[in-house]
Amino acid sequence: SDLQKQEERGELLQPLIFVLLVLCSVLLYFKVSLMDPGFVKPEEEVKEGENKGQGVVIPQIPGDIKLRRCGYCLVKQPMRAKHCQLCQHCVRRYDHHCPWLENCVGERNHPLFIVYLSVQLVVLLWGGHVAWSGLYFEQSWEWLQHNIFLLVSFLLIFIFTIVVLLLLVSHLYLISCNTTTWEFMSHHRISYLRHSELENPFDQGIILNLWRFFC
């Protein structure tokens, strides 16, 4: 049959890979949106050993800055944590609240969020290539009627590709600097950054920053 001939020629491999990438993207979306981003539990208290370890890693932070209790959920906030009023929880290493995921991006799901953006970008670029390859341009109303769906699809894919690309690049830049979106946008309002001698006391070099984040 034609299907068997296409399989023998390897023509079914690319569509299969594309479908698997789309499925992986959907699974990653639900994983990142449903998992715990690093909520600070009420029963958790920062241990003295953790504080000492943190002091070794970032000795530039003044010692008079004390951990405070959240004014909303009354838990003791670890450093780099922030309360999200939409999730009603304090989140460890808070980055931002993503409206597309309806969940925070924090310490636990931030690496998976980057993987999700990467897979989504590959799917969009591939889909854009498919949509573009199906277009052949003619200056006629009849041509426009027959290709309007492909044109709209390509335009939407192009817009989403630009958004995802910019989002991924900005996050990779912040990760390479060992900072978060919240710290980058609100540097002047965060006590442990405002009173630090360095602009970014967490930065340990690009390689070590990426290693600590992903590994």
- The most confident of 111-125, 142-156, 191-205, by mean pLDDT: 111-125
Is 55:124 a contact under the CB 8 Å cutoff? no
Q: Looking at residue 104, what is its pLDDT? A: 96
Q: pLDDT confidence of 9, banded at 50, 70, 90?
A: low
Q: pLDDT confidence of 29, banded at 50, 70, 90?
A: very high
Residue 170 has pLDDT above 50, yes or no: yes
pLDDT tens digits for range 42-58 = 766 545 444 444 443 44
Range in 47-61, 144-158, 179-193 with the lowest mean pLDDT: 47-61
The residue that leads in pLDDT, 59 or 168, is: 168
| % of residues, the chain, pLDDT over 70 | 79
The residue that leads in pLDDT, 61 or 29, is: 29
Mean local confidence (pLDDT), 26-50: 80
Residues 6+ apart with CB under 8 A from 130: none
Residue 27 has pLDDT above 90, yes or no: yes
Annotated catalytic residue, options 84, 90, 98, 215: 98
- Enumerate the β-bridge partners of residue 150: none
Which pTM value belongs to this model?
0.81
Q: Looking at residue 108, what is its pLDDT? A: 95
DSSP 8-state code for residue 93: T
SS3 of residue 201 by DSSP:
coil
- In the annotation, is 98 catalytic? yes
Chain centre to alpha carbon of residue 135: 33
CA geometry: angle 83, 53, 171, nearest 5 deg: 50
DSSP tally for the chain: helices H, then strands E: 8, 4
Mean local confidence (pLDDT), 187-213: 88
Phi then psi for 139, rounded to 5 degrees?
A: -90, 75
Burial of 178 (C-beta count, 10 Å sphere; 0-12/13-18/19+): buried
Strands 89-91 and 82-84: antiparallel
